[in-house]
Amino acid sequence: MNLEVDKHRLMSEIEELALISDAEAPAVTRIVFTPTDLIARAWFLARCKEAGLAIRQDAIGNIFARWNGQDPNATAVATGSHIDAIPNAGKYDGVVGVLGGLEAIRALQQSGFTPKRSIELILFTSEEPTRFGIGCLGSRLLSGSLSPEAAKKLTDKDGAPIEQIRRAAGLQEELETVKLPAGHYQAFVELHIEQGALLEQKQIPLGIVSKIAAPSSFRIFIEGAGGHAGGVLMPDRRDALCAASELILAIEHQAKASGSTDTVATVGICEVFPGAVNSIPSRVNLSVDIRDTDLQRRDSVIGAMDASSHVIAAKRGITIRQELVNADAPGDCAANIVETLSESCRKHGLSFLTIVSRAYHDSLFMSRIAPVGMLFIPCRNGYSHRPDEYASPDDIARGTLVLAETLGSLAG
């Protein structure tokens, strides 16, 4: 196989997709099933059709673009990621895995290689939790990690039901048809930016992931008593925002005190009601994200957060109610795929680092039904989920080359 990645085509596609956005460049905002996201999906489908891939779309909008292999009975090898982007994000998160996956297939095609197994490119729906509050919606449903019944209860921030939203996006089949059986894929490999700074610091061009950290998230509803900012004296207050502040700091403290820097906790959403300068906050809704590479340690931080909620609620005479959104186990990458990725790096004379993924990815859920592997490329300063996220064309092309080599080996 003489593989040649067309770096210029790939970079111009990344730039083109970045312009399909609800934020002003260089920022990218692409929330699932918005008109902008639907335009981006149509654009992606057109690129897949140009590459001669056979398209299927499931009921949640996961897109499967298949290069048929010689043996129709052999299980397929898959790659892919997501193109939805959180508000005010960058161009590369997810996109490198989708467009890099497409370019890897084109490089294999152009080399004259004919795969025995089919190679399938997957665009997963809503890896980001922005719209429905839960991340990896497409891969969760596909792997059976989220039941169709639970998925049907999801609504967006404005209360619109997911069933209505996806049907308006043209997805008419039932969610029950999305799940794929274990063994449906021979292997799944995802190319992604690191979203951390380790590769850059060590000046190593590639990371081969060994394990994906365990994510969890919660919604917290705090209810106190509102009132006039001048009229209600301090001893009489039950201020929901003051309680929230105490809880946020307790969560931060508990993550820092876990004994490991692998524990991370973030309160990324804080909604305050009624939201007037001269009105005491009566209600606050928080969204909390707690992760660790170690499940027990993560769960002990969750336990400590629960305990703090009780103490703060009792002390301040308010109520704090918690709702679990997700608490997922970590995922392991498969030894045979780690080995194939390593072999591909060696073949091209590229050094690599074995690395843990602290971000979650669709690979985490694909690991419930298939052997998975992940390949990381560096991103400047480790920045991600911000407009100045950047991965160099050379790093993107290197990752795509190793992905192509790996898909070729796995597809036989």
Write out the residues near ligand GLV by the rule CB under 6 A: 128, 135, 359-360
Q: In this structure, what DSSP letter does residue 161 have? A: B
Helix (H) or strand (E) holding 57: strand 54-57
Residue nearest to Mn ion (CB): 94
Specify the residue, 268 or 303, whose C-beta has the smaller distance to ligand GLV. 268
Specify the residue, 21 or 308, whose C-beta has the smaller distance to Mn ion. 21
Query: CB 139 → ligand GLV: shortest distance, Å?
Result: 12
Distance of alpha carbon 213 from the chain centroid: 12
Specify the residue, 139 or 340, whose C-beta has the smaller distance to Mn ion. 139
Q: Which two tokens stand for residue 280?
A: 């005491």
Helix (H) or strand (E) holding 10: helix 7-18
CA distances from 117 to 37, 55, 186, 361 (A): 31, 16, 9, 24
In angstroms, the CA 25 to CA 407 distance is 33
Provide the total of helices (H) and of strands (E) in the chain, helices listed first. Answer: 12, 17
Which amino acid, residue 128? E
Query: CB 303 → Mn ion: shortest distance, Å?
Result: 27
Taking CB within 5 to 8 Å according to partner kind, which of ligand GLV, Mn ion, none is near residue 292? Answer: none
Tokens 């039941």 sit at which residue? 147
In angstroms, the CA 376 to CA 395 distance is 10
Neighbours of 118 (CB within 10 A): 22
Taking CB within 5 to 8 Å according to partner kind, which of Mn ion, ligand GLV, none is near residue 360? Answer: ligand GLV
Q: Which two tokens stand for residue 345?
A: 């790096």
Query: CB 126 → ligand GLV: shortest distance, Å?
Result: 11
Query: CB 342 → Mn ion: shortest distance, Å?
Result: 23
Distance of alpha carbon 200 from the chain centroid: 21
Query: CB 409 → Mn ion: shortest distance, Å?
Result: 24
Query: CB 25 → ligand GLV: shortest distance, Å?
Result: 21
Specify the residue, 9 or 385, whose C-beta has the smaller distance to Mn ion. 385
Query: CB 28 → Mn ion: shortest distance, Å?
Result: 11
Specify the residue, 268 or 317, whose C-beta has the smaller distance to ligand GLV. 268
Query: CB 94 → Mn ion: shortest distance, Å?
Result: 4
Residue nearest to ligand GLV (CB): 359
Specify the residue, 359 or 391, whose C-beta has the smaller distance to ligand GLV. 359
CA distances from 5 to 2, 145, 296, 328, 395 (A): 10, 35, 43, 36, 12
Specify the residue, 94 or 408, whose C-beta has the smaller distance to Mn ion. 94
In angstroms, the CA 28 to CA 21 distance is 5
Specify the residue, 195 or 344, whose C-beta has the smaller distance to ligand GLV. 195
Write the DSSP assignment of 231-273 as a string of letters.
TS-GGG-B-HHHHHHHHHHHHHHHHHTTS-TT-EEEEEEEEEE
